Amino acid sequence: MCGIVGLFLKNQALHSDLGRLTALMLHEMCDRGPDSAGFAIYGGGDERAKLVLLSKTAETDFDGLGVRLGQALGAAVDVETLHDHAILRTRADGRSARTWIIENAADVTVLSLGTSIEVFKGVGDPDRVAADFGLAQRTGTHAIAHTRMATESAITTAGSHPFSTGADTCLVHNGSLSNHNNLREILAAGGERFQTENDSEVAAAYLAHRMAAGDSLNMALESAIRDLDGFYTFAIGTKDGFAVLRDPIACKPAVIAETDDWVAMASEFRAIAPLPGAESARIWEPEPARIYSWSHAA
Amino acid sequence: MNGSNTTLDLNAHSLREVNAALQGAENGAFTLLNPGGAHALACGLTSPVEVTIRGHAGYYCAGMNKEASVTIEGNASTGVAENMMSGTVRVTGNVSQSAGATAHGGLLVIEGDASARCGISLKGAEIVVGGSVGHMSAFMAQAGALVVCGDAGEALGDSIYETRLYVRGTVASLGADCIEKDMRDEHRAQLADLLARAGMDADVADFRRYGSARQLYNFKIDNAY
């Protein structure tokens, strides 16, 4: 099963409410995915690279890791810890920082990298995960969240969604991919670094890889329809964009609602119902193999 | 409990309480407020009650309906009126996939569009869609009728046994063993009756009929790979 929600704000006056509204949406999807949950929130930040890390052991010395990373990159690294997560900020190149951490810190998973995105995940009750990481208090421009009923790989925090491999890009997935092992090998040969056995991470890496090569989000999704085999409803976030894509068979549910103030997508309408103005929103079911996207970019 | 214009607010009552009230009534009219996309609203009704749902319904709304008349003033999610036995279910908005799945009897009216697999495995109910239907509609349909005033998506009537399909607009493609058939007087009469009962303003002459070529009923060794 799994539950997906995404909220893309068009009205700046709602930015302070992003986390609260996303938490309301996530709550409605708890019974679609009680195994684990996660969310990506796009908001503040400065020009520094921001990496969100997860400790696989819950005992990682993040401050020590920050010092070692700073020495390796020759730049200061600020460390902010939150439960088994840490947010590292540095003026060094973010992609180099991600690679260094994957190669030198075996007890850590890099959940996200970028100047805007922050990803948080946890195993167990989605409401508790949202509370642990203060989702309701967070502000920003858009958010994507997921409740997981695990099928293709183990129930672990690292195996929870959203998956993010490229800067400020993330993906949540309801479904299962059947050609992810082959694609993983192709992408790895092309330089992508994987951290889990999860099929959805391959989809995230695929899109990130295409966009790093120059594709727009829509171009990358056009290619995805051709190259990804399996069942999927995706919600995708970029630094200033948001997209929804369903596979050509469209077995996995999705509904989109739009008002002058926001665009929301969810596995089911009940996750959209709590949003302000939902009763008069334009509501539709996204068609199979059709890309729906919105952007804050001019 | 006999209901007569009873209002039930889903913000004040649990789904189970609301469904129990509807299922326990022998007649009367009910109005449900604040459905909020809840699942299984007004399902399993067995008496001629009238239910109006003001807002959008979740999965399996009015499922297994028998004799009741259920109107959804909004959209409905997956499987509206699934396995309906009799009665009427009307949706003023759009519906998600598998509308009227396996329904044995009764009339399902969708004023807007239906997405994929509308009338999948239909077993005798009648479905009238004011808009268009998605891919694989009437997949393995066995009896009954599906009227589409708009267009039909890919693979209409795939592996159909029986069931009469009437489409006014374009058909993206026909599924395996589904073919276009002549409109005879009996079909024009059936279609006119269905359009009238559904309250659809459409001209019978604009529709085409599709149905089973009946070539998949028996195993054919020539079809083996």
Per residue in B73-95, pLDDT (tens digit) is 999 999 999 999 999 999 999 99
CA A90 to mean position of chain CA atoms: 21
Percent pLDDT > 70 in chain B is: 97
pLDDT at B1 over 80: no
What 3-state DSSP class applies to A26?
helix
Chain A residues with beta carbon closer than 8 angstroms to that of B58: 268-270
Give CATH 3.30.70.600 domain extents, chain A: 47-115
pLDDT at A150: 85
Write down the ipTM of this complex.
0.87
pLDDT at A16 over 90: yes
pLDDT at B198: 98
Q: Tell me, what CATH number does B171's domain have?
A: 2.160.20.60
Chain A residues with beta carbon closer than 8 angstroms to that of B55: 279
* Cβ–Cβ below 8 Å for B116 and A253: no
d(CA A26, CA A15): 17
Q: Compute the mean pLDDT over every residue in chain B, rounded to the nearest whole number.
A: 95
Residues 50-79 of B with CB under 8 A from A: 55-56, 58-59, 75, 77-78
Per-residue pLDDT band for B122 (boundaries 50, 70, 90) equals very high
* Cβ–Cβ below 8 Å for A270 and B37: yes
pLDDT at B223: 64
Which of A250, A255, A284 comes nearest B116 by C-beta? Answer: A250
* Cβ–Cβ below 8 Å for B75 and A269: yes
A210-269: pLDDT as tens digits? 999 999 999 999 999 999 999 999 999 999 999 999 999 998 999 999 999 999 999 999
Residues of A assigned a catalytic role: 2
* Cβ–Cβ below 8 Å for A273 and B56: yes
B26-54: pLDDT as tens digits? 999 999 999 999 999 999 999 999 999 99
Q: Is A20 left (phi over 0), alpha (psi -120 to 50) or beta?
A: alpha
Range of the domain at B75: 35-215
* Cβ–Cβ below 8 Å for A288 and B78: no
pLDDT at B108 over 60: yes
What does the block give as tokens for A288?
A: 């199979």
d(CA B36, CA A261): 20
Chain B residues with beta carbon closer than 8 angstroms to that of A255: 77, 96
pLDDT at A183 over 90: yes
A96-141: pLDDT as tens digits? 999 999 999 999 999 999 999 999 999 999 999 999 999 999 999 9
* Cβ–Cβ below 8 Å for A269 and B58: yes
Does the residue B79 lie in any domain?
yes
pLDDT at B222 over 80: no
Which chain B residue shows the shortest CA-CA distance from A271?
B37
Element (H, E) at B168: none
Does the residue B19 lie in any domain?
no
Q: Which of B73, B18, B37 is nearest to B3 (CA)?
A: B18
Chain A residues with beta carbon closer than 8 angstroms to that of B135: 250, 288
Q: Which of B168, B161, B174 is nearest to B203 (CA)?
A: B168
d(CA A17, CA B123): 48
Does the residue B65 lie in any domain?
yes
pLDDT at B220: 74
What 3-state DSSP class applies to A58?
coil
Does the residue B10 lie in any domain?
no
Is B137 an interface residue toward A (CB < 8 Å)? no
Q: How many domains does chain B contain in total?
A: 1
* Cβ–Cβ below 8 Å for B96 and A253: yes
CATH 3.40.190.10 assigned to A3-44+124-295 = no
**Beta bridge partner(s), residue B70:** B51, B89
Is B94 an interface residue toward A (CB < 8 Å)? yes
* Residues on A contacting B at a C-beta cutoff of 8 Å: 250, 253, 255, 268-274, 279, 283-285, 287-288
Which of B36, B116, B135 comes nearest A273 by C-beta? Answer: B36
Does the residue B56 lie in any domain?
yes
CB-CB contact of A242 with A197 (8 Å): no
What 3-state DSSP class applies to B109?
strand
Does the residue B181 lie in any domain?
yes
**Cα distance from B192 to chain A (closest Cα, Å)?**
30
CB-CB contact of B46 with B55 (8 Å): no
Which of B58, B94, B97 comes nearest A270 by C-beta? Answer: B58
* Cβ–Cβ below 8 Å for B38 and A270: yes
**Cα distance from B216 to chain A (closest Cα, Å)?**
23
CB-CB contact of A88 with A78 (8 Å): yes
Query: How is domain A47-115 classified at the CATH fold level?
Result: Alpha-Beta Plaits (3.30.70)
* Cβ–Cβ below 8 Å for B94 and A285: yes
pLDDT at B224: 66
Q: What is the reported pTM?
A: 0.92
Does the residue B119 lie in any domain?
yes
pLDDT at B3: 45
B180-197: pLDDT as tens digits? 999 999 999 999 999 999
Helix axes A199-212, A217-227, angle to 10 degrees: 130
